[in-house]
Structure 1
């Protein structure tokens, strides 16, 4: 394969030196502009002519060195000729260094540029230092190439500063730089660390499509005008801690590959992050959004942290993230959180007005395009609420969220919490197990709170699953402080949570959900040894055993059938007489009058067990038992023992039937 020929550069628009030109390889040669009165550039001028030119310069003189190749020594000689004794620094008027080539260190530290400074498309092979330089006119660095480090710390740009398309291969330092006019960095490439800490942008700051391959540090920067970072690419970490955005902040379509921090940032104007992508964590801790009404949609592969952030106006947040932390976040007006994938922590959030948390069913569509969620393909799309502790739930609405591991302890007004759509809670463990290694048992399916799981896991000494593994559905889920009993809510606390949340289900006309939470409340009261007396616990044990607190119809029906079967057996064995007794009539004759008296003998039970346990007697006993269920007397002759058996069955069995009916109604009522 042949090597393609090198591109042929066109001749510059100014009269150039042409030193070293070759018709075959380099027809242009040196691009340096002619020194006035000569046909060579400053670099190729004879020494005597160069000395004469430099001697004619005075502080504040205009300098035109377009295309000139500078060594560090030549540049030093030029700046020394412009040295201002009053300030001790070089003083240039209009400075034209377009396409100039600086092969060594270029030192412009403290220099004063009274007119326009043109360094566009200049090439700095070594380090370039403009620290504390003062640019009174426009400063042009568009397309400039900084192969070494570039320092503009504390530089002052009184008018516009143009760095569009500039390439910074080393560190780019703009710490405490002051941009009084507009600052253009659109399309600039920062291969090393870009330092803009405490920089001040009085005009608009344009970083659209800029590429930051290293870290981008804007800590404490002040943006008085619009800050535009649309489609910017941050390959390293991006730090905007304590930055102040007085105008609108545009980060639409920006891509953050590392960590992005906006902690304590102040957004006085709109903050636009629509279609922004965060491959790492995104932090907005203690940030303040004064007029933002739309945040996102954004995609974050890890966690977006809005802890202690403040939203002053009604706002809609559209976030697709692995996790969302809203600890102590304050919403001073209404808010709607439309989420995808996110495990959300609302601990101690301050809700002054209604705040709705909704699981968004489909990918967000900013504009006419579908938001790319490829960063989250390994995550389930459901939205989980991790905690609502310390929240005033009177203003909270949860829609289609997963509350399996949600902690409600410490929340206020839980009875006013609104649960919309399909909100899911943790189920009881599945499968058959042995209690005390003897009795087989299983848990009936019901909605449970995470706090009940944590207490039961702690009380039975269940080990926590290995980190990173989902707990087995056959076990209770361990809590964050497992197995510390002092930090795990006890049954009295959990019962109060069930009682308040049951009211939320009832207000939502979700009677089955309310029934499950009533069951959970009774369970916690049955196990509570501090707030529930022993006699009350005994009653609850009986209520649970007979009918599952009036919510388990199968249990009540099983006991009813058991009671009826026992009644039948007892009646066959002791209650039904062997045969119905015949009444006997006796009479007496007194003074021509006859007195008759009929008396039925008491029913008698004779014969052995083989005579009592017959199908005929079973039919009679069943009739008595069935009539007892509905408070009816069968009219069957019974022994004295049978009478008491029937009385007991007429008291117990209708009660069990009523409990079964009540349980069925509790499951189907709407």
Structure 2
């Protein structure tokens, strides 16, 4: 050793960077706390001549054992040059042991071939660590490592396992196209920015349980050979797994994702557990094949839960609180139960091979006995947006709001089953204006499609909801069969009031359809005006009372004769029979002033005629010719109006 070495001073204090307090008195102990050759005790504290001699003694394939050593970028470059093969300029070494070492600046091992293990346990790296295209024949261990910059392992080939438990990485963790033969453990790791594993291949388990990631997580196109655990992980940005393959189980229980979670095209070879997961953005499972999954959730997704073109091969229960749930062209090859909160569900063209139920969950979902917070979600109702293209014979909806649901194009709609508290769209309430004419719609259940069509009519009254953007309103001829099938579904379910509303809607669409002959439309219009298709008791009773009032007035003015016929005097005979023929005079039309005809006596007689006419009976009253024809007309019209009113009441109270 030269005189510049700290070993030359017998009473020198411990070396400032030695973790084990090595001094000149225990030089053979060195910074690693074990017996080593004197010249390897602490490379940073060797003199220039000793250091040069040490580096000259290295060769390609040699071990680098500098645990607990402070290493500058210049010193690291010298070490790697010392183990470089002259012919190929390839850096090749045996074991790389740098546990507890401290790197001042970057630690660049890019392209290095390490035949043994790379041990960086509890290492401190002031800048980036770079293993791009490096080959590690053994394990890469960075347990509790402190890396101030990025951890770059793109295209690295790690034949053993990669262990980063408790590691702290201030920048990005980049493992793009990396190959890890064993497991990759990042349990409790802290990554300040993104954790990127696109197209990586991991032979065994991938463990990010309880990890904290300040940016995005990307596993797009990766192959994860064992189980993947993200339980309790906190991801500040997006989690992207597009095209990844999970060959084992995937666990995201109680994970928190601050952005979107994209699992589009993912293959789950085992189970996937999302219980208690919270996702601030959208969650996408487009074209995902769930082969063995029995439960998805309960999870909370503030945005949209997208199951478009997903395939569920086995029976599954989906529990989710989400803004929207999109199941377009989703296929259920077995039974399924969707228990939802806050969601608007779109089932357009979904394939239901077995019974599928969609129900609103009244209480918040729980995981491990604790409620899952529903951040940003306020209205717990579940709404259906579309059932177009769905075979409703296998569908059960419970406590679902159908106000904006599109039904046209649903297959077997007459077999749809509705349970619990369900809500349809209704007609506008209160008085509206159609031009200058005030209009009041009678409340009834309607289809959202009828709202869309009526909102396009030029002379419409207000209050009808227009079609959403991109949606073409359907014509009445296309809506009449939809109402007819829903009516049958309600009749089969013994819900007569609901069936009556859909019968009304069916008749309304027929009345406005252009393919119906005018004569039939005129008949339907009369039927609508008189009694609301036999469903509006108030309208029929109004016409009945009006008809009775008109009949009474006609009887008062023209129907009752001027004078009542005089009764004959009785004849008493004893022991003889007498035949009398009496010529009853014809009733005389009244000719007195109209005011005199409106007497109480004439009103009582007129009322008796009208009441008898309502119950289809003759009054037996002497009437003028006008009165006779009026009575005949009222005996036809008024019982029919009374029948319409009774029919309407019966439709509302029938079981």
TM-score by length of 2: 0.92
Q: Which residue of structure 1 aligns with residue 531 of structure 2?
A: 547
Q: Which residue of structure 1 aligns with residue 170 of structure 2?
A: 169
Q: CA deviation at 1:523?
A: 0.9
Q: Which residue of structure 2 aligns with residue 648 of structure 1?
A: 633
Q: Secondary structure at the match of 1:597?
A: coil
CA 1:18/1:148 → structure 2, altered by over 3 Å: closer, same or farther? same
CA 1:192/1:527 → structure 2, altered by over 3 Å: closer, same or farther? same
Please say if residues 385 and 405 of structure 2, whose CA atoms lie closer than 8 Å, have aligned partners that are also in contact: yes
CA 1:595/1:549 → structure 2, altered by over 3 Å: closer, same or farther? closer
Please say if residues 404 and 424 of structure 1, whose CA atoms lie closer than 8 Å, have aligned partners that are also in contact: yes
CA 1:21/1:72 → structure 2, altered by over 3 Å: closer, same or farther? closer
CA 1:596/1:620 → structure 2, altered by over 3 Å: closer, same or farther? closer
Q: CA deviation at 1:510?
A: 1.1
CA distance in 1, matches of 2:44, 2:17: 15
Instruction: Write the mapping of 1:32-181 to structure 2, written as runs, cut at 5 A.
Output: 36-38=37-39, 40-85=41-86, 88-181=89-182
Q: Which residue of structure 2 aligns with residue 537 of structure 1?
A: 521
CA distance in 2, matches of 1:462, 1:573: 42
CA distance in 1, matches of 2:299, 2:434: 49
CA 1:132/1:18 → structure 2, altered by over 3 Å: closer, same or farther? farther
Q: Which residue of structure 1 aligns with residue 264 of structure 2?
A: 263
Please say if residues 363 and 371 of structure 1, whose CA atoms lie closer than 8 Å, have aligned partners that are also in contact: yes
Q: Which residue of structure 2 aligns with residue 447 of structure 1?
A: 445
Residues 250-307 of structure 1, C-alpha deviations (whole Å, 9 max, x = no match):
0000101012111111112111110000111111122221111100001111111111
Q: CA deviation at 1:152?
A: 0.6
Instruction: Write the mapping of 1:125-524 to structure 2, written as runs, cut at 5 A.
Output: 125-376=126-377, 379-437=378-436, 439-460=437-458, 475-481=463-469, 487-524=472-509
Q: Secondary structure at the match of 2:16?
A: coil
Larger mean CA deviation between 78-87 and 492-501 belongs to: 78-87
CA distance in 1, matches of 2:395, 2:38: 80
Specify every segment of 5 or more residues in structure 2 that has no aligned partner in the other structure, as ranges.
Answer: 1-11, 24-29, 570-576
Please say if residues 584 and 599 of structure 1, whose CA atoms lie closer than 8 Å, have aligned partners that are also in contact: no
Please say if residues 576 and 637 of structure 1, whose CA atoms lie closer than 8 Å, have aligned partners that are also in contact: yes
Q: Secondary structure at the match of 1:397?
A: strand
CA distance in 1, matches of 2:578, 2:37: 167
Please say if residues 107 and 130 of structure 1, whose CA atoms lie closer than 8 Å, have aligned partners that are also in contact: yes
Q: CA deviation at 1:594?
A: 9.9
CA 1:84/1:549 → structure 2, altered by over 3 Å: closer, same or farther? same
Please say if residues 311 and 331 of structure 1, whose CA atoms lie closer than 8 Å, have aligned partners that are also in contact: yes
CA 1:528/1:599 → structure 2, altered by over 3 Å: closer, same or farther? same
Q: Which residue of structure 1 aligns with residue 15 of structure 2?
A: 19
Q: CA deviation at 1:595?
A: 8.2
Q: CA deviation at 1:365?
A: 2.0
Residues 422-465 of structure 1, C-alpha deviations (whole Å, 9 max, x = no match):
1101111111123221x2220111111100000001113779xx
CA distance in 2, matches of 1:312, 1:388: 21
Q: Which residue of structure 2 aligns with residue 616 of structure 1?
A: 601
CA distance in 2, matches of 1:124, 1:258: 30
CA 1:462/1:230 → structure 2, altered by over 3 Å: closer, same or farther? farther
Please say if residues 32 and 69 of structure 1, whose CA atoms lie closer than 8 Å, have aligned partners that are also in contact: no
Q: Figure out how many residues of one structure are paired with residues of the other and give that number.
A: 629
Please say if residues 434 and 459 of structure 2, whose CA atoms lie closer than 8 Å, have aligned partners that are also in contact: no
Please say if residues 327 and 345 of structure 2, whose CA atoms lie closer than 8 Å, have aligned partners that are also in contact: yes
CA distance in 2, matches of 1:594, 1:272: 109
Q: Which residue of structure 2 aligns with residue 557 of structure 1?
A: 541
2:622 to 610, 621, 637: 637
2:642 to 657, 663, 667: 657
Q: Which residue of structure 2 aligns with residue 598 of structure 1?
A: 582
Residues 518-561 of structure 1, C-alpha deviations (whole Å, 9 max, x = no match):
111111111112x2111111011100111000000011111111
Residues 133-192 of structure 1, C-alpha deviations (whole Å, 9 max, x = no match):
222222210111221222111112222211111112122210111121111111111112
Please say if residues 300 and 375 of structure 1, whose CA atoms lie closer than 8 Å, have aligned partners that are also in contact: no
Residues 62-116 of structure 1, C-alpha deviations (whole Å, 9 max, x = no match):
2210011111121111112222357642222232100111113322122222222
TM-score by length of 1: 0.90
CA 1:411/1:596 → structure 2, altered by over 3 Å: closer, same or farther? closer
CA distance in 2, matches of 1:70, 1:280: 44
Please say if residues 155 and 178 of structure 2, whose CA atoms lie closer than 8 Å, have aligned partners that are also in contact: yes
CA 1:87/1:272 → structure 2, altered by over 3 Å: closer, same or farther? farther
Please say if residues 583 and 600 of structure 1, whose CA atoms lie closer than 8 Å, have aligned partners that are also in contact: no
Q: Secondary structure at the match of 2:401?
A: coil
CA distance in 2, matches of 1:77, 1:656: 107
Q: CA deviation at 1:126?
A: 2.0
CA 1:629/1:419 → structure 2, altered by over 3 Å: closer, same or farther? same
Q: CA deviation at 1:44?
A: 1.3
CA distance in 1, matches of 2:500, 2:564: 50
Please say if residues 547 and 659 of structure 1, whose CA atoms lie closer than 8 Å, have aligned partners that are also in contact: yes
Q: CA deviation at 1:41?
A: 0.7
Q: Which residue of structure 2 aligns with residue 9 of structure 1?
A: none
CA distance in 2, matches of 1:36, 1:298: 58
CA 1:175/1:39 → structure 2, altered by over 3 Å: closer, same or farther? closer
Please say if residues 32 and 100 of structure 1, whose CA atoms lie closer than 8 Å, have aligned partners that are also in contact: no
Residues 297-353 of structure 1, C-alpha deviations (whole Å, 9 max, x = no match):
011111111111111111110010111111111111111110001111111212121
Please say if residues 582 and 601 of structure 1, whose CA atoms lie closer than 8 Å, have aligned partners that are also in contact: no
CA distance in 1, matches of 2:309, 2:588: 85
CA 1:666/1:223 → structure 2, altered by over 3 Å: closer, same or farther? same
CA distance in 2, matches of 1:302, 1:70: 48
Q: CA deviation at 1:407?
A: 1.0
